[in-house]
Amino acid sequence: MSTTRRHLLKRVAAMASAVALPQVHAANQPLRLAIVPQFTAVEIYKSWAPLATLLEQRCKIRIELAVANSIAAFEQEFLKGNADLVYLNPYHMVMANNNHGYVPLVRDSSRLLSGILVVRAQDGVSSIAALAGQQISFPAPNAFGASLYMRALLARKHGVNINPHYAMTHRNAYRMVLSGASAAAGGVKATFQKEDPDVREALKVIFETPGVPAHPLAAHPRVNKELRTVMTQTMIELGRDPDKKMLMDGIQMSSPMAANYLADYAPLQELKLEKFVVLE
């Protein structure tokens, strides 16, 4: 065999190995599942660890949960392509797809995601205009419904300039209002409903954003297509199992359905939110 031919065969073999490597990784190595930190790490592990175990058993894979201590740290999971699987907000899905081609697998069909703006009930605030120039707390700059979309609507639709404060979590944002440190806070219905009754009663919702398809579970394209299909079907089956209702409610995906990037999330680019995105 000539030297040239041997060299050519080596290059072909190397290329084949490079193509096959992502599938080997998905099959033999733990898949890194990153979850947006809407809640505390303890709450996230409590909700997601049982699901991860079921996916491991039914899909014949291993999963490593990755729970960041901030949304900014979480964003690096998909902006750098570290996460194999990721549960993320709708606009994060756009960012993840644009950066690394992440593909949404499933989303909740039972609800749309909408942001809410809350004030202290005792303060008597009933209009957005009354918040002009005030400090408003948000979980993080790019929390979609609670902050990113909310801030864009306040500025563009209502012409209200505010002083944004980022409290790290939804819970912290709500408590900034309760303490009187902030005039209002951005959140979403799901996190608000998980608050204690006394917290909900002390706060009043004065504005709600239009709804969009909820958070998807997405996969990096290095996770092979066959596995992505199996995981999608498994999630849908879990959603149909009455015995798994509490588990699926816990991850905010009560009724999973197959997600489609072009239909569900690509249209969010038309909102032109780039001006309001803050990356750390």
Mean local confidence (pLDDT), 153-158? 97
Q: State how far the Cα of 154 lies from the Cα of 235, in Å rounded to an integer.
A: 36
**pLDDT of res. 215:** 98
On whether both 107 and 237 belong to a single domain, the answer is yes
Q: Does the pLDDT value for residue 221 go beyond 60?
A: yes
- Measured CA angle at 243 (ends 105, 34), to 5 deg: 35
Q: Is 7 exposed, middle or buried (0-12, 13-18, 19+ CB in 10 A)?
A: exposed
Indicate the residue type of 198.
D
On whether both 246 and 129 belong to a single domain, the answer is no
- Do 208 and 115 touch, CB atoms closer than 8 A? yes
On whether both 201 and 221 belong to a single domain, the answer is no
On whether both 58 and 105 belong to a single domain, the answer is yes
On whether both 167 and 234 belong to a single domain, the answer is no
Smallest Cα–Cα separation from 182: which of 128, 130, 119, 139? 119
In tens, the pLDDT along 24-50 reads 344 579 999 999 999 899 999 999 999
Mean local confidence (pLDDT), 48-76? 96
Q: Which of 210, 242, 263 is the last residue in one of the domains? A: 210
Q: Identify which has the larger pLDDT, 258 or 3.
A: 258
On whether both 107 and 220 belong to a single domain, the answer is yes
CATH number of the domain residue 130 falls in:
3.40.190.10
Q: Does the pLDDT value for residue 18 go beyond 80?
A: no
Could you give the dihedral angle defined by the CA atoms of residues 168, 40, 78 and 104, in that order, rounded to the nearest 10 degrees?
Answer: -120
**pLDDT of res. 27:** 53
pLDDT more than 90, % of the chain: 88
On whether both 95 and 7 belong to a single domain, the answer is yes
Domain residues for 137? 115-210
Q: Which of 210, 229, 251 is the last residue in one of the domains? A: 210
On whether both 128 and 240 belong to a single domain, the answer is no
On whether both 89 and 143 belong to a single domain, the answer is no
On whether both 227 and 173 belong to a single domain, the answer is no
Domain count, the chain: 2
Q: Which of 194, 210, 226 is the last residue in one of the domains? A: 210
On whether both 95 and 122 belong to a single domain, the answer is no
Question: Residue 161: how many CA atoms within 13 Å on its side-chain side?
Answer: 1
On whether both 237 and 154 belong to a single domain, the answer is no
